[in-house]
Amino acid sequence: MVERFDGLIGDVLQSHHLQSGEEMEATLQRYVWLYNRQLPQLAPGNETPLQVMKKWYKVDWQLFVKKSVLPCGI
């Protein structure tokens, strides 16, 4: 999925004439929202990344709990 995301985001950036960093940020944020919620992916069974994540959450919610990692010696 990462390769598809990278390729499509490249297409989006090439097809838009962005005037500022803020405009680029807004365009990227809209694209990420669309990609995660609206564009089904072939690999995970024609589901959006958000749908797949919700399924994994139901299977093992602890996968989504951030564990703190301290440097050695602390």
- Please state the domain extents for the chain: 2-64
AA identity, residue 34: L
Residue 33 has pLDDT above 90, yes or no: no
Q: Rounded to an integer, what distance in angstroms lies between the CA atom of residue 26 and that of residue 13?
A: 12
Residue 73 has pLDDT above 70, yes or no: no
Q: What is the DSSP string of 1-43?
A: -HHHHHHHHHHHHHHS---SHHHHHHHHHHHHHHHHHT--BTT
Count CB-CB contacts under 10 A for residue 20: 8
Q: What is the mean pLDDT of residues 42-64?
A: 82
Tell the residue number behind the tokens 């390769």, with chain if given: 3
State the pTM of this model. Answer: 0.52
Q: Average pLDDT, whole number, for the chain? A: 79
